[in-house]
Copies of this chain bind each other. A is one copy, B any other.
Amino acid sequence: MERQASSTECWHDDVEAANAELRAAEAELERAKQRILAAERAVGVARRLKILIAAAIGAYYTRDINVALENDPHVVIFCTSVLSTAKVLEKFPKEALAGRLVVDVLSVKEYPKSLLLEEMPSSADILCTHPMFGPQSGKDGWQNLPFVYEKVRISSPRGAVICTEFLRIWSDAGCRMVEMTCEEHDRHAAATQFITHTTGRLLAELAPETTPINTKGYESLLQLVSNTTGDSFDLYCGLFYYNSFSKAQLEKLEDGLKRVKESLFAFEAEQIKEDGGPQAKWVLSPSGSKPACSGKAGVSQS
């Protein structure tokens, strides 16, 4: 049923529409305010939770660097992402780290070693570490999980004692303590961790799906894809850019694929000589892409 609107109704409709828009805008504004308040409450709760958790283990939680340093900590651990480390250090009151043990926990090691040696006061001790586990792999405890470290600069007898005490926390928790240079770490990590992440991300590009005929090997690839893409892309880029050995590993992977492909194509060339190639091979052209061929397969002619 159609209705012809009079000019009065039009004007009336316009005012109604404008009012409706205004009310909608006000409601949206109110919802936005509520979301901000909810977010502030969440942050507040999270912070209070952190304070309580810290208190439970006899620690004090603060977001204020100066307050933290007023407590005169023996050890200062930078738990930064690879990409943010330089920026965090830039803003840190580094002179206040004199005489303390400074620790990093990055997944690359030459880079923070270099950065800390450059940036820290000369009286600060430096311990570069890589606890090689996370919330997933360490969820049932740290038994036998590798904790890699290099005592980069431990100058005073007091610093040596503090460093030993700090490392003992991890070994007491069951970690497998692995002492190696940052360079050694990065060489191994490029060949293992970076290659693992690259393989996972490479396979992710194929958007692999579960099929009715998954093999156990394929299931393990699906698992790998899910694990590696679960980590942030920034972390992956960090493993590449801040590890001087990663580029060579990427090249090895490219060369490897090239060699595998070459060996398959060499096999194909030999086989085509023998059986005449796809046209002869699939005599009945089962899938659409292959041309039909009425002759017998080359291989089966006697």
Contacts and interface: CB of A to CB of B under 8 A. Distances in A.
Contacts of A268: 240-241
Q: Interface residues of A: mostly helix, strand, loop or mixed?
A: helix
Interface residue tally on A, bucketed by range: 35 or more
Interface string A169-181: 0000000001010
A221 interface: yes
Interface string A124-150: 000000101000010000000010100
Contacts of A189: 213
A237 interface: yes
Given A118-B283, A183-B287, A191-B211, A206 B252 contact: yes
A189 to B, nearest CB: 7
Given A217-B200, A254-B261, A211 B192 contact: yes
A49 B244 CA distance: 59
A178 B212 contact: yes
A282 B195 contact: no
Nearest to A198: B260
Contact of A253 (B90, B117, B257): B257
Contact of A283 (B115, B178, B198, B299): B115
A123 interface: no
A249 B282 CA distance: 19
A47 interface: no
Contact of A215 (B119, B196, B264, B267): B196
Given A110-B287, A237-B264, 16 more contacts: A110-B282, A118-B284, A132-B213, A188-B212, A191-B206, A191-B208, A193-B213, A193-B217, A195-B208, A196-B215, A199-B199, A201-B260, A202-B256, A217-B227, A217-B228, A244-B287
26 contacts: A86-B297, A86-B300, A87-B299, A111-B282, A114-B286, A114-B297, A117-B283, A118-B300, A146-B212, A178-B213, A188-B213, A191-B209, A192-B211, A195-B218, A197-B217, A201-B260, A202-B257, A205-B256, A205-B259, A217-B224, A217-B227, A240-B268, A241-B264, A253-B257, A254-B261, A257-B257
